[in-house]
Amino acid sequence: MYAIVEIAGQQFKVVKDQKVFVNRLDSEEGNKVTFDNVLLLDDSGKVTLGAPVIDGAQVSAKVLKHLRGDKVIVFKKKRRKGYRVKNGHRQSYTEIQIDNIVASGAKPAVSKTEKAPAKPAAKSKQVEDKAPAVDLSKMSVADLKALAKEKGITGISAMKKADLIAALS
């Protein structure tokens, strides 16, 4: 069983008894922490996907120690200008060990082989939205222009009656 969980703004794939280095957490060494932002669970082939997270799923871990990473040198230089700046950076990390992955309340994701419910055809929806058929040739030019304006047709001010009827049908 594994889970993809969000810890301190980053996503990690974790399994039970795995040690993970994450960005510094605000808990003391030896304390237990739980993470509720479980994005995906895999229980021996049964995949559960969250939207965006899985309700009720938790990953619990124990804080082993706080440490700092290797020093990274940041050197900036602009040639022929006499500009040189040297800075260093050491990132703070926390080492945690995953104790337990709880999947209570998890709902299985729809597999690719299962078919999703069929959507109604777009044409049938358009037919339902249309008003009852009206004979456009019997309408006045002003009424045709108003109807074209409602439907969002542009450039109607210079159109003749025949062009308006063609644009609306």
**Could you list the pLDDT tens digit for every one of the 169 residues in the chain?**
899 999 999 999 999 999 999 999 999 999 999 999 999 999 888 999 988 899 999 999 999 999 999 999 999 999 999 999 999 999 999 999 999 999 875 555 554 445 455 555 555 444 445 555 677 777 788 888 888 878 777 777 777 777 777 777 7
Domain boundaries, the chain: 2-102, 122-168
- Asked if residue 55 lies in contact with residue 87, where contact means CB atoms within 8 angstroms, the answer is no
pTM higher than 0.85 for the full model? no
Helix (H, G, I), strand (E, B) or coil at 166: helix
Closest CA to 35 of 17, 49, 14: 14
Length of the chain, please?
Answer: 169
Gap between the Cα atoms of 163 and 156, Å rounded: 9
The encoded tokens of residue 3 equal: 């889970």
Residue 36: both structure tokens together: 């509720």
